[in-house]
Amino acid sequence: MHSYFVGSKLKPTFLVEIEPKKKIISIYKPDKYSAKLDFYEKYSLGLLLITIKYNNIIFLEKPILYKQKHHLVNEMIIKIDDKYFLLSNKGKTTLSSL
């Protein structure tokens, strides 16, 4: 499993966990109940937005190593079926086509 934080370095917006062999992605966001937990637990025990099979993931820039074993990206595009979703520090946006 690979873990990516999406957003700014000071306060990422999402935690994205990817299982590449199964092509499954899970997206988490902190909630008010997990806000006081440790950094990783704040996201992983927060609000699970979605767990779904994906077709492809596109990184707009090379992920950097962040918090020892995780990575950080400003934005990532996820292709699910025939739709594209942009994750960034501004939230989630649906893209019509690329």
The domain limits of the chain are 2-95
Residue whose token pair is 């994750």: 87
Give the Å distances, CA to CA, from 15 to 33, 86, 96, 98: 16, 14, 24, 24
- Provide the pairing of β-strand 70-73 with 2-7: parallel
Comparing C-alpha atoms, which of 18, 22, 19, 39 is closest to residue 30?
Answer: 39
Count how many Cα atoms sit within 13 Å of the Cα of residue 80 in the half-sphere of its side chain: 15
pTM, 2 dp? 0.85
Q: Is the pLDDT of residue 97 over 50?
A: no
SS3 state of residue 41: helix
Comparing C-alpha atoms, which of 3, 21, 1, 23 is closest to residue 73?
Answer: 3
pLDDT tens track for 53-93: 999 999 988 998 887 778 899 999 999 988 898 888 876 66
How high is the pLDDT of residue 92? 62
Amino acid at 86: L
